[in-house]
Structure 1
Amino acid sequence: MAIGEYTESTDSKLISEEDSIYTKILNDIARGKLVSGDRLVTTQLAKQYNTSINPVREALKQLQGEGFVTVLANSGSRVTKFEFHTMRDVFEILALLEPYLMEWFINEHTDEQLDTLKIILKQMTDLSPSDFVRYRELDAEFHASMYSHHYNKRAYGMWCKNRLMLQAFHANLGFSVRRFEQSLVEHQDLLTGIENRNVDAVMTTLNKHIDNSGQYWSKHFQ
């Protein structure tokens, strides 16, 4: 595959392309159209998504089971309020899963998969810090395009769920220029290490990438 010809596959997306009410609501949460604490009224959502009430109820029930929606007595359904301890737990889970998923990719990746990473990183580089929503989508695609090839689909599924929670929390949190530039360097270092199949270098960069993201999130959350 030549550089510039990348077409995103469904497998490398955190949210499938399936045109269901569930995916529409989840997309709106991940992109910050529905934010933490927002009330989710079934009649309003049904009108918004041009559907009946039952599919909305089923979608909210599924999202509740996955931790994206909270149902409280006398309050109805709301987008989950992602508190500090929740996001701390998410970061710790990702810090455990990513090295496991990454190590396999370093050793097993193909040239075509490497070209995919180069294209995504080029798209990230072409953005500005103000394009933080699109940057985070591409960031997620960058990692998903590696981890989705892992044989352990349960581990990959767990990563997707927690990454989506992270993305939902970060949806309206902008980048400083410094963090934006730092993140790009970290991704380039990951790509270089993967291309050289240098496990130690990639793991060092990945741990730094996770730590820096966690520190930036924690500072702004508090």
Structure 2
Amino acid sequence: MSEKHILTSPLLTEQGTVYANILSDITNAIFISGDRLVTTKLAQRYNTSINPIREALKQLQGEGFVHVAANSGARVAKFEASTTRNVFEILQLLDPYLMEWFVEEHSREQREDLFRILRKMEDIELVDQYAHVLYRHLDTEFHWLMYKDHYNKNAVELWRRNRLILHVMHGSLKLSARRIEQSISEHRALLDLLEKRDLAGTLAMLKAHITNSGRYWSRYQIR
């Protein structure tokens, strides 16, 4: 992926910081699982000194995105295959909880924003790795818009962190055309049900969406 294709995830709540810059590069597959994160090179990349880099790496290590070993320095974390299963099981619990509030409380303007994001997803031509990363960012933005204003900020933060883990794990992988088509259809169905404020239907569709996504990544993820 070329430098001009760097995206900023809507999940990065500390935009503009060294921490956010490093995590953005990880979620955009600039750095992938196992890559070394050399402090001097990172300081040059982000035009900063060594200390902010070290502090950011320490924070990322605490969150599980970076692994630091005594003899090999910092590297992008390598997640176990079971992590995919665990993350999707957590999301299967959190998404319906957060969505239930949104179904009842969302505005027409928020729904229009969701339609706007969906149209962008539909317009993507999957011609290179950047397009696949862009699709995942838009997919995340779609769900983030629905959940970010929920009153339970602890639940929102837990959802955010697990969604970021998926970005890190899948950053260098491509979605199949069939999964893209299925995913867009599921998003469209969610919007139709939201417009009707059909709580039971929305939650059932959301569960199917998460289950299908988890099944796809569990099957095709390469380590």
Given the two structures, how large is their TM-score scaled by the length of structure 2? 0.91
Aligned to 1:100: 97
Is the CA contact (8 Å cut-off) linking 1:129 and 1:180 kept in structure 2? no
SS at match of 1:78: strand
**In 1, Cα distance between equivalents of 2:74 and 2:14:** 25
Instruction: Tell me which amino acid in the other structure corresponds to 1:57.
Output: R
Q: Residue by residue, what CA displacement relative to the aligned partner does 1:120-176 show, whole Å, maximum 9, x if unpaired?
A: 111111112342111100000000000012111111111111101101111111111
Aligned to 2:5: none
**In 2, Cα distance between equivalents of 1:179 and 1:147:** 23
Q: Residue by residue, what CA displacement relative to the aligned partner does 1:33-74 show, whole Å, maximum 9, x if unpaired?
A: 110111111111111111110000000000111110111221
Aligned to 1:84: 81
Structure 1 unaligned segments of length 5 or more: list them: 1-9
The percentage of aligned residue pairs carrying the same residue is 55
**In 2, Cα distance between equivalents of 1:17 and 1:40:** 20
CA RMSD of aligned residues (A): 1.5
**In 1, Cα distance between equivalents of 2:100 and 2:166:** 22
**In 1, Cα distance between equivalents of 2:100 and 2:10:** 20
1:220 lines up with 2:217 in the alignment: no
SS at match of 2:151: coil
1:46 lines up with 2:43 in the alignment: yes
**In 2, Cα distance between equivalents of 1:129 and 1:103:** 32
Q: Residue by residue, what CA displacement relative to the aligned partner does 1:185-210 show, whole Å, maximum 9, x if unpaired?
A: 00000111111111111111111111
Aligned length: 212
Query: Which 4+ runs in 1 deviate beyond 2 A?
Result: none
1:153 lines up with 2:153 in the alignment: yes
Instruction: Tell me which amino acid in the other structure corresponds to 1:132.
Output: H
SS at match of 2:104: helix
Residues 1-222 of structure 1 mapped to structure 2, 5 A cutoff: 13-16=10-13, 18-130=15-127, 131-221=131-221
Structure 2 unaligned segments of length 5 or more: list them: 1-7
